[in-house]
Amino acid sequence: MQEPHLIKKQQYEKVKIILDLGKQRYVTAGGNPKKYRAGFKEKDYLTDEERQEALTIMRQLFGVTVKDGYAYCQDKSWKLPD
C-alpha cells in the first residue's frame, strides 16, 4: 500500500499534467501563456472529460465534497448555483 503523501503527490502531478495540456493547446491556438485561465469552460482548452477528471482529483486533494446541491469544505458549506 502506498503512503498517503505519495498518493497526494501523484494526484497533484496528474492535475498539473491535465492543466498543462490545456495551457499548451491554448498557446498553440495563439493565446498568451501568461493569460491562460484554467477551469473556465469553453476557455480552458480542456475536454469535458479532462475537466471532470481534474475537478474530481482536486476535490479529493482539498477535501471538498458536493452533496444535494451544497459544497462542503473545512467545516463550511455553501449552496451551489443551479
In this structure, what DSSP letter does residue 46 have? Answer: -
Q: pLDDT (tens digit, 9 = 90+) per residue, 60-79?
A: 888 888 899 999 988 899 99
Report the alpha-carbon distance of residue 43 to residue 35 in Å, rounded: 11
Q: pLDDT (tens digit, 9 = 90+) per residue, 29-51?
A: 999 989 888 877 788 899 999 99
CA 34 from chain centre, in angstroms, equals: 18
Is pTM beyond 0.85? Reply is no
pLDDT recorded at residue 1:
62
